[in-house]
A and B are shown apart, each in its own frame.
Chain A
Amino acid sequence: GAVVSQHPSWVICKSGTSVKIECRSLDFQATTMFWYRQFPKKSLMLMATSNEGSKATYEQGVEKDKFLINHASLTLSTLTVTSAHPEDSSFYICSATGLAVEETQYFGPGTRLLVL
């Protein structure tokens, strides 16, 4: 199957700093990427949908100024958690889909963020 990578896999940061997470589709062009957040033992919560070259569409309750999403190319989307606080600590997962894999989401391995 198609491969999606995330970097970093683990990040620990101080409160007030910003953290950037990258999501890359390695072997297909991802016209759409999704960002999810998952709390311990909980389901995935869709944060935003990102289409290449356009602004991300955020789900209700997700602060767009807090979680900046950029999808500048067909293989890369970034999520920046700005001025991170301990309550932002979570597991962030991206997924990607494209014309070649249109009905299937391919997920990245996730990034665990811990804000101290």
Chain B
Amino acid sequence: SQQGEEDPQALSIQEGENATMNCSYKTSINNLQWYRQNSGRGLVHLILIRSNEREKHSGRLRVTLDTSKKSSSLLITASRAADTASYFCATDNLYIPTFGRGTSLIVHP
């Protein structure tokens, strides 16, 4: 069963703008991870945030986690056309990640 649910399902922005994607989940987690998938390709791990962390940064990425609301957000700042991809959150249960449906991000040059 799917644990994480991303929102919105699709996002279209201009290059240079920020993109924010949200993920909600249902049960308690050990950690939450965000992945990126280019069309027809495998997944690339972006960032992991543990249940006792509230915010984490990696380059242009900022991830927040609110365990009380069972939600996480991924912010991509100063987006680039190359950021066009699908983004998935995955929550873990005994190290087995369960994926949401993903947010399809299109960044127009």
B-contacting residues of A (Cβ < 8 Å)?
1, 6, 32, 34, 41-44, 46, 49, 91, 93, 95, 97, 102-110, 112
- Chain B interface helix/strand/loop/mixed: strand
A1: contacting residue among B40, B45, B88, CB under 8 A:
B45
Of B12-20, B54-62, B65-73, B96-104, the one contacting chain A is B96-104
Q: Are B42 and A107 in touch, CB under 8 angstroms?
A: yes
By size class, the interface of chain B is 20 to 34
Give bound CA distance, A56 to B99, whole Å.
20
Residues from chain A with a CB closer than 8 A to the CB of B92 are 103
Secondary structure class of chain A's binding surface, majority of residues: strand
Tell me the complex Cα distance, A43–B37, Å.
10
> B96 contacts A46, CB within 8 Å?
yes
Query: Given A43-B88, A105-B45, are A91 and B40 neighbors across the interface (CB < 8 Å)?
Result: yes
